[in-house]
Amino acid sequence: MNTGLFTTRNIFIFCIVLWGFIVVRAMMNTKGTEDFVTTVSSSEVTAYAKAQLGALQERSFAEDQEICAVIFENSDGELGSTPLISGEMASCDIRFFDEPGMGPVASMHTHGAYNSQYDSEVPSMLDMQSDIASGVDGYVSTPGGRLWRIDAEERFTEQVCGENCLAQDPAYRPCESDEPKSRYSLDELQARMDDSSIRC
């Protein structure tokens, strides 16, 4: 009988059993995103997004870039966010994740510095469509200091707070003829984007 082969086989089997035990135990101790039950309230997520985006405004203006992240709830019921991603002047690629014990609850991003060529005081159609497709709400801060929430399920966006409720870009210039409404459906936002007659 080859005892060396027998010992090697036993060690190999032991390692497989041990690895299986570790994996099963880890799965029992964490909540996966597929069965994650959100416990935080919408108002808690909004307050978190407002604080995070408020702190990012000046950096976003200085770099003239959108900055984005995903807000998640962990298995202890606490809110956190993924590492920040710097995008471009008018876009940011938010990457969702599938980590055990973390449930995505919202996206968030700034709208960069003021630019009269962009209708940046409201979420863009791409902002709304992305959040609707992902099935999570979104939060957007603007150069004028507004904060918007995108309701992915109901397919509308509304102002959480108006002009200057967050840090405002010193270069920002309000446009009275293009003052945003407090709420837009997807169709209403598209109509605003298509109407070039009211741009300053």
Q: Give the span between the Cα atoms of 75 and 73, in whole angstroms.
A: 7
DSSP 84: P
Put simply, whether the predicted model's pTM sits higher than 0.85 gets the answer: no
Q: What value does the CA radius of gyration of the chain take, rounded to a whole number of Å? A: 23
Pairwise CA distance, residues 83 & 81, whole Å: 7
pLDDT of residue 134: 87
Task: Return the closest-CA partner of residue 130 out of 105, 93, 185, 103.
Answer: 93
pLDDT tens digits, 108-151: 999 999 998 889 999 999 999 999 998 999 999 999 999 999 99
Give pLDDT, residue 140: 97
Q: Show the tokens assigned to 173.
A: 């210039």
Residues of the chain with confidence (pLDDT) below 70: 1-36, 88-100, 196-200
